[in-house]
Amino acid sequence: MPKAVWNGTVLAESDDTIVVEGNHYFPREALNDEYFAPSDLMSRCPWKGTAGYFDVQVDGEVNPDAAWFYADPKPGAMEIKGRVAFWRGVEIVG
């Protein structure tokens, strides 16, 4: 089962990930909420839409903007609505 891991801590775990452009998108309910804080960062993808971000916080360390999501994706990316993906050193294992 795929897991998102940073600093030895499991941030999310689910056997229901969707892979888009090499990134595993986890269902929002698969996240361990205690490790996430809203970020002000936003970015745009031409085909997916506007992405929002979360900072990841584990044991007092912060990985800024390490998780992203599309709250209102464009029609071609609806499969990732309500899902979260990771980067910036977060490993996907399993």
Q: What percentage of the chain reaches a pLDDT higher than 90?
A: 100
Which pLDDT score is estimated for 58? Answer: 98
Rounded to the nearest integer, the mean pLDDT of the chain is 97
| Number of other CB atoms surrounding residue 74 within 10 Å | 13
Mean local confidence (pLDDT), 2-19: 98
Number of domains comprising the chain = 1
Instruction: List C-alpha distances in Å: 82 to 31, 62, 70, 71.
Output: 11, 23, 7, 6
pTM of the predicted structure, to 2 decimals: 0.95
- Provide the residue range defining the domain that includes 51: 3-93
Looking up residue 21, the CATH number of its domain turns out to be 2.170.150.40
